[in-house]
């Protein structure tokens, strides 16, 4: 068994999972901040939240692209 490759895949999986969780959590937090009545510029904060959600969706789609063998042709 190639242990170095196994550790490499495990490391990349951990980094990808943490990145997705952080992006989604940041998007949810920014959405909550944008809903605050005392916020000075809710449109800017809400757009940053949508950027976080968009990056999260792109990462998921890229993962699906890597997994599905039909796209590799």
Give the domain range for residue 28. 11-72
- pLDDT value of residue 44: 92
pLDDT of 30 higher than 80: yes
- pLDDT value of residue 3: 92
Start-to-end CA distance of the chain, whole Å, equals 28
Q: Does residue 30 lie within any of the structural domains?
A: yes
Please give the tally of structural domains in the chain.
1
Q: Does residue 49 lie within any of the structural domains?
A: yes
pLDDT of 20 higher than 90: yes
Q: Does residue 2 lie within any of the structural domains?
A: no
Average pLDDT over residues 4-29: 96
Q: Each residue of 33-61: pLDDT tens digit? A: 998 878 788 889 999 999 999 999 999 99
- How far, in Å, are 3, 14, 53, 55, 61 from residue 68 at the CA level? 25, 20, 23, 20, 11
Q: Does residue 56 lie within any of the structural domains?
A: yes
Q: Does residue 47 lie within any of the structural domains?
A: yes
Q: Does residue 45 lie within any of the structural domains?
A: yes
How many angstroms separate the CA atoms of 44 and 48, rounded?
6
């Amino acid at each position: 068994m190639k242990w170095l490759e196994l550790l490499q895949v495990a490391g990349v999986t951990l980094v990808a999972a943490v990145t997705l969780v952080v992006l989604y959590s940041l998007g949810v937090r920014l959405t909550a901040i944008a809903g605050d009545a005392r916020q000075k510029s809710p449109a800017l904060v809400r757009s940053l939240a949508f950027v976080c959600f968009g990056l999260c969706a792109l990462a998921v789609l890229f993962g699906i692209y890597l997994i599905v063998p039909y796209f590799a042709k």
